[in-house]
């Protein structure tokens, strides 16, 4: 018989004999845990085996400290016992009993005039009485015997114990138990699950099933989880694919300054080319292969212009262009793709990529040294700003941002350039969501693209929309080895609805 079943049986016997007056008494008399008894009573009550009538009990409970004194005596008694006939130096007393005990015990004993101190011999303590009665301990014992009943001690003594924090008031609800409408001496065991055996034997017909606990949490299925950043990346890839864009091969983190800057008509004196902003490589420090004829065209357009442009009119150094860097944007790959397009005989194209880019940053809540850039590029003959606005409208509407406005901006390789702002209904304000523009002729024409081919481009970071979507304030909580695995496990699916 399980302890629980044994307890059930005992309870039912007592109820049957009409002797169950108080569950607290019942538990104490049998040395049972009252909570366990109440558990059993509730269960029996749920089956209407018994009726419960609550009884409020207020009583004193001995604190842990008091429990201890009941066993070893109060501090004052301990100190008294530690003082020999011939007295003891105050300092030595500390060694014979615990410091805390000595302190309390000495103070209490002095109050009771159990000791005297002789200062002539350098604070020596003597017994003042021959023997003592440890009254406080007696009180505690008394209270314990009376199960903490309020009436066990008079007010003065109660106050004394309270003051010394030896007792505290507790209130307990116990129950008077009587037979319920369905009282019986045995409680049938309930089934929690329907089993195959029950189905086979038809025994489910006789079973009572324990009600399911709808307040508890269910069992979590074993599973692994995808990273939130890449879930959002997947959602953006789908948008591009739905819109007919082709993914670019962006799997080259190392890029030459040539493709990253020069090909984009970014002047060699541009601040982005500072050591301060960009990771340069010490090994391999320089790119070995740059198409010579194309490089000559790029040099010319920078130095003296062409295609209707006056150029930057300052010296352009090949050495600077060959410097390898960690690419600062995926537009370096777009440049490679556009040049390939020009070389292979122009065909209209729409490209996209979502991949890593690098900036020589000191990390903080909104800056990382690497992050993901989302980029879209569309090129065709006669394609224009209106088309760019149309692509933006579709793209951001699919992201759940149907309301856009554009601010003119500056970008060395696009003209016109625009920052994209979207109305965020949750935040109730316009937020900047990306950059866009039309690539400059100084970038496109040296590649060999025909004059009437225009190229539209736009970009945004993957981290920012992810942080907004999942309400993550610190970028480092999203990307990198310090990310909390539990965040990944609990992170909801990505639906791009702001």
Partner 1 sequence: QGQMPVIYVVAENLFSLLGKTLNDKELEDICFEFGLEVETTTYKDMPHRDIVEEYKEDELVFKVEVPANRIDLLCVEGLAEAMRCYLQLAEPSIFKVVPLEKKETIIVEESCNQIRPFIVGAVLRGVKFNPKNYNSFISLQDKLHENYCRKRTLVAIGTHDLDTIKGPITYKALPPKEIIFTALHQTKDMDVTELFSVLEKDLKLRNYLGIIRDSPVYPVIYDAEGHVLSLPPIINGERTKLKMTTTNVFIESTATDLSRAKANLQALVCMFAQYCEKPFTVEPVEVVAVDKSVHQYPDLTYKEMKLDIDYAKQLSGVDDLQPADIQKYLLKMGMHSKPAEDGKMVVEIPPTRGDILHQCDIIEDLIIGYGINRIPARLPKTHTIGKQLPINMFSDLIRREFAFAGFDECVTFSLISKEDQSNCFLKPLDTKEVVQIKNPKTAEFQIIRTSMLPSILKCVSANRTAKLPLKIFEVNDVVKKDPESDTGASNQRNVCAAFSNTKSGLENIHGLLDLLMLKLKIPFSSDNGYSLRAAQEDHFMKGLQADILFHGEPIGQMGIIHPEVLKKFEISYPV
Site for partner 1 in 383-412 (CB under 8 A): 383-387, 389-394, 405-410, 412
> Tokens at residue 314, please?
């300052």
Of 7-15, 144-152, 159-167, 452-460, the window that binds partner 1 (rule: CB under 8 A) is: 452-460
According to the binding rule CB under 8 A, does residue 282 interact with partner 1?
yes
**Residue 356 C-beta: closest distance to partner 1, Å:** 6
Sole binder of partner 1 in the list 433, 454, 465, 467 (CB under 8 A): 454
Closer to partner 1 by Cβ: residue 119 or 313? 313
Judge residue 1's burial from the number of C-beta atoms within 10 Å of its C-beta, 0-12 exposed, 13-18 middle, 19 or more buried: exposed
> Tokens at residue 117, please?
């101190």
Closer to partner 1 by Cβ: residue 142 or 246? 246
**Residue 481 C-beta: closest distance to partner 1, Å:** 4
* DSSP-assigned letter for residue 271: G
Tell me: cis bond preceding 407? Omega within 30 of 0 counts: no
- Please state the length of the chain: 498
Closer to partner 1 by Cβ: residue 98 or 242? 242
**Residue 372 C-beta: closest distance to partner 1, Å:** 9
> Tokens at residue 442, please?
């100084």
According to the binding rule CB under 8 A, does residue 82 interact with partner 1?
no
Q: Strand 115-118: give its sheet, edge to edge.
A: 88-89, 124-127, 115-118
Closer to partner 1 by Cβ: residue 23 or 328? 328
Closer to partner 1 by Cβ: residue 171 or 428? 428
Closer to partner 1 by Cβ: residue 104 or 341? 341
Cβ contact 164:140 at 8 Å: no
Tell me: cis bond preceding 416? Omega within 30 of 0 counts: yes
Please state, in angstroms and as integers, the Cα–Cα distance from residue 187 to each residue in 182, 278, 385, 425, 437, following that order: 10, 77, 81, 59, 79
**Residue 246 C-beta: closest distance to partner 1, Å:** 4
**Residue 215 C-beta: closest distance to partner 1, Å:** 23
User: In whole angstroms, what is the distance from residue 53 CA to residue 36 CA?
Assistant: 17
Q: Select from 81, 75, 83, 94 the least CA-distant residue to 117.
A: 83
According to the binding rule CB under 8 A, does residue 277 interact with partner 1?
yes
Judge residue 56's burial from the number of C-beta atoms within 10 Å of its C-beta, 0-12 exposed, 13-18 middle, 19 or more buried: exposed
**Residue 394 C-beta: closest distance to partner 1, Å:** 6
Residues in 329-388 that interact with partner 1 by CB under 8 A: 329, 348-350, 356, 358-363, 368-370, 378-380, 382-387
Of 3-11, 35-43, 191-199, 243-251, the window that binds partner 1 (rule: CB under 8 A) is: 243-251
Identify each DSSP E strand in 21-77 by its residue range.
Answer: 50-62
Interface characters, 167-206, with partner 1 (x: CB under 8 A): ----------------------------------------
According to the binding rule CB under 8 A, does residue 493 interact with partner 1?
no
**Residue 225 C-beta: closest distance to partner 1, Å:** 5
* DSSP-assigned letter for residue 98: -
- CA 325, 326, 331, 333: dihedral to nearest 10 degrees? 90
According to the binding rule CB under 8 A, does residue 248 interact with partner 1?
yes
Of 138-146, 148-156, 192-200, 263-271, the window that binds partner 1 (rule: CB under 8 A) is: 263-271
Q: Select from 141, 150, 140 the least CA-distant residue to 170.
A: 150
**Residue 92 C-beta: closest distance to partner 1, Å:** 46
Binding-site size for partner 1 (CB under 8 A) equals 113
**Residue 165 C-beta: closest distance to partner 1, Å:** 37
Residues in 209-238 that interact with partner 1 by CB under 8 A: 222-227, 229-230, 234, 237
Sole binder of partner 1 in the list 4, 168, 182, 270 (CB under 8 A): 270
**Residue 396 C-beta: closest distance to partner 1, Å:** 11
Phi and psi dihedrals of 180, rounded to 5? -95, 175
**Residue 371 C-beta: closest distance to partner 1, Å:** 10
User: In whole angstroms, what is the distance from residue 269 CA to residue 316 CA?
Assistant: 10
Q: Select from 462, 253, 305 the least CA-distant residue to 374.
A: 462
Q: Select from 427, 432, 447 the least CA-distant residue to 335.
A: 447
> Tokens at residue 341, please?
């397009």
Residues in 297-336 that interact with partner 1 by CB under 8 A: 305, 307-314, 324, 326, 328-329
**Residue 340 C-beta: closest distance to partner 1, Å:** 13
> Tokens at residue 454, please?
């225009």
Sole binder of partner 1 in the list 29, 142, 159, 247 (CB under 8 A): 247
Identify each DSSP E strand in 100-148 by its residue range.
Answer: 115-118, 124-127
Residues in 104-143 that interact with partner 1 by CB under 8 A: none
387 C-beta neighbours (distance < 10 Å), count: 15
Closer to partner 1 by Cβ: residue 39 or 390? 390
């Amino acid at each position: 018989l399980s302890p629980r079943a044994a307890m059930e049986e005992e309870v039912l016997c007592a109820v049957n004999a009409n002797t169950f007056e108080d569950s607290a008494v019942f538990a104490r008399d049998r040395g049972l845990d009252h909570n366990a008894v109440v558990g059993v009573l509730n269960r029996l009550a749920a089956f209407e085996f018994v009726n419960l009538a609550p009884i409020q009990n207020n009583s004193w409970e001995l604190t842990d400290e008091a429990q201890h004194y009941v066993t070893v005596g109060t501090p004052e008694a301990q100190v008294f016992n530690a003082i020999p006939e011939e007295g003891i130096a105050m300092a030595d007393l500390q060694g014979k009993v615990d410091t805390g005990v000595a302190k309390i015990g000495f103070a209490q004993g002095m109050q009771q005039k159990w000791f005297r101190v002789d200062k002539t011999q350098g604070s020596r303590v003597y017994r003042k009485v021959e023997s003592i009665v440890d009254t406080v301990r007696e009180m505690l014992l008394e209270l314990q015997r009376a199960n903490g009943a309020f009436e066990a001690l008079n007010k003065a003594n109660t106050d004394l114990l309270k003051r010394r924090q030896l007792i505290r008031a507790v209130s307990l609800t116990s129950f008077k138990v009587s037979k319920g409408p369905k009282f019986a001496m045995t409680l049938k065991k309930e089934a929690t699950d329907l089993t195959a055996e029950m189905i086979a034997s038809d025994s489910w017909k006789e079973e009572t099933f324990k009600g399911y606990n709808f307040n508890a949490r269910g069992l979590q299925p074993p599973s692994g989880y995808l990273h939130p950043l890449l879930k959002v990346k997947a959602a953006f890839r789908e948008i591009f694919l739905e819109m007919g864009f082709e993914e670019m091969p962006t799997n080259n983190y190392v890029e030459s300054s040539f493709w990253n800057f020069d090909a984009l008509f970014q002047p060699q004196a541009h601040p982005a080319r500072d050591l301060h902003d960009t990771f340069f490589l010490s090994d391999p420090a320089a790119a070995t292969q740059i198409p010579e004829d194309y490089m000559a065209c790029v040099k010319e357009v920078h130095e003296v212009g062409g295609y209707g442009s006056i150029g930057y009119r300052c010296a352009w150094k090949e050495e600077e262009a060959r410097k390898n860097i960690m690419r600062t944007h995926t537009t370096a790959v777009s440049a490679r793709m556009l040049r390939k397009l020009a070389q292979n005989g122009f065909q209209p194209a729409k490209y996209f990529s979502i991949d890593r880019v690098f900036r020589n940053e000191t990390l903080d809540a909104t800056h990382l040294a690497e992050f993901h850039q989302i980029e879209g590029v569309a090129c065709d003959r006669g394609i224009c700003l209106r088309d760019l606005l149309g692509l933006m409208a579709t793209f951001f509407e699919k992201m759940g941002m149907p309301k856009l406005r554009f601010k003119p901006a500056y970008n060395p390789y696009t003209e016109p350039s625009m920052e994209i702002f979207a109305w965020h209904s949750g935040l109730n304000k316009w937020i900047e969501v990306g950059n866009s523009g039309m690539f400059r002729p100084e970038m496109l024409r040296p590649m060999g693209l025909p004059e009437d081919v225009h190229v539209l481009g736009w970009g945004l970071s993957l981290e920012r929309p992810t942080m907004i979507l999942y309400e993550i304030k610190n970028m480092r909580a999203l990307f990198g080895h310090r990310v909390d695995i539990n965040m990944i496990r609990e992170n909801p699916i990505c639906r791009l609805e702001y």
